[in-house]
Amino acid sequence: MVPELQKSTVRIQQPERVVGLIRAIKEQGGSKLQVISDFDMTLSRFGCNGRRCPTSHNILDNSHVVSEDGKKKLKDLLHHYYPIEIDPNRTLEEKRPLMVEWWTRAHELLSQQKIQKGDIAQIVRESDVMLRDGFNELFDQLHKYNVPMFIFSAGVGDILEEIIRQANVFYPNVHVVSNYMDFDDSGVLKCFKSPLIHTYNKNNSVLQGTAYFQQLSTRTSIILLGDSMGDLTMADGVPSVENILKIGFLNDKVEERRGKYLDAYDIVLESDETLDVVNGILRYILMET
Ligand code: TMP
Ligand code: MG
């Protein structure tokens, strides 16, 4: 059905369920399908040649527009809070207030750096960000078959939009909800717009009214892509979901987190920097027979 599912990076707890879901989504057809995806470390790469790739926040942190002192403070925050974000032994309730603290402090620091709107394109061009291998096929297929792609990100919207624009895949079927920068009249960053989106509030609470999903109420088949346990609730605002296939990238602390990921995601991709499996599934679903 989907040869890519034989890759050594693929782990599935309930293979029959996955086969059933893929078949059901294919039966419903592309006109019933929507894709809901996280951005950082899901559409973008986690690593390359043994080095970590930046998140949309890291792209700003590492750029020439942030002072040395600002860089150090942002790095200290990352080293303190990231292990908490991915700790399998803490509950979401424990993590939530700490994530609000991290995002709030990082956004405050960035807002002191006099970042100019006009600098964003160059900052992205000069960064080490990489989209996962196969991103072209993913975006092109969804565009070709008019499948809506909703990117729900706790990263920085202005940065991630620029990444997909520079990759020439920001098609009209792509819709982004994320943290956006608020610039003053002279184009200097003054703060971030609310609501604040962090790893563990990606749900209805920030999609208020979910006007976007309401207009897609006939898209009852969903493919959800994420890399965090917080990404699992991204489709909560969708009315009348019939079939949802959850695909999770397990990038870091693979051994420690495997059990929880296998329980939560239908398909787990371990240290897989490609979109091969997603593309294989979409090719099968969208293929005209
Ligand atoms: P997301 O991939 O769930 O949208 O979350 C964004 C990622 O950004 C999350 O893994 C934590 C990371 N992050 C940074 O790298 N630097 C920061 O300053 C903040 C606030 C988040
Ligand atoms: Mg992510």
- Reference 206, options 281, 129, 99, 289; nearest CA is 99
Q: Is the peptide bond before 3 cis (omega within 30 degrees of 0)?
A: no
DSSP state of 196: P
115-131 burial, b at 16+ Cβ within 10 Å, e below that, comes to: beeebbeebbeebebbb
The H-assigned helical ranges of 118-167 are 120-125, 135-144, 157-166
Q: Which atom of ligand 1 is nearest to the CA of 77?
A: 18
Q: Which ligand is nearest to the CA of 227?
A: 2
pTM exceeds 0.95, yes or no: yes
The DSSP 8-state label assigned to residue 272 in this structure reads -
Confidence of residue 207 (pLDDT cuts 50, 70, 90): confident
Beta carbon of 41 within 6 Å of any ligand 1 atom? yes
Q: Which residue's entry shows tokens 């975006």?
A: 139
Distance of alpha carbon 198 from alpha carbon 152, whole angstroms: 10
- Indicate if ligand 1 lies below 6 Å from the C-beta of 102: yes
Domain boundary among the residues 110, 125, 140 is at 125
Q: For every residue of 45-72, which 3-state class applies, written as one string? A: CCEECCEECCCHHHHHHCCCCCCHHHHH
* Contact residues for 148 (Cβ-Cβ < 8 A; gap 6+): 34, 35, 142, 173, 175, 216, 219
Q: Which atom of ligand 1 is nearest to the CA of 103?
A: 20
CA of 161 to the centre of ligand 1 (A): 15
CA 236 – CA 248 distance, rounded (Å): 17
For the domain that residue 77 is a member of, what is the CATH number?
1.10.150.340
- For residues 220 and 238, give the distance between their C-alpha atoms in angstroms, rounded to a whole number: 8
Could you tell me the distance, in angstroms and rounded to a whole number, from the CA of residue 283 to the centre of ligand 2?
Answer: 24
CA distance 180 to 218: 29
Centre a 10 Å sphere on the Cβ of residue 16 and count the other Cβ atoms it contains: 8
Which ligand has its closest atom nearest to the C-alpha of 104? 1
Active site residues per annotation = 38, 40
CA distance 260 to 232: 12
> Do 108 and 246 sit in the same domain of this protein?
no
Atom of ligand 1 nearest to the CA of 198: 5
Tokens of 162: 């620029």
Residue range 16-44: mean pLDDT, rounded: 98
Model confidence band, residue 211 (pLDDT cutoffs 50, 70, 90) = confident
Q: Do 58 and 44 lie in a common domain? A: no
CA of 200 from ligand 2 middle (Å) equals 11
Chain mean position to CA 130: 13
Give yes or no for residue 53 having a pLDDT over 90: yes
CATH number at residue 154: 3.40.50.1000
Closest approach atom of ligand 1 to CA 82: 11
Are residue 43 and residue 146 in the same domain, yes or no? yes
Summary mean pLDDT of the chain: 96
Whose atoms come closest to the Cα of 153: which ligand? 1
- Mutation test residue for ligand 1: of 38, 44, 55, the one with most atoms within 8 Å of CB: 55
Say what the pLDDT of residue 72 is: 98
- What pLDDT, on a 0 to 100 scale, did the predictor assign at position 289? 63
- Structure token digits, residue 187: 């184009």
Does 89 lie in the same domain as 225?
no
Tell me, in angstroms, the distance from the centre of ligand 2 to residue 144's CA: 26
Q: Domain limits at 116?
A: 51-125
| pLDDT exceeds 80 at position 43 | yes
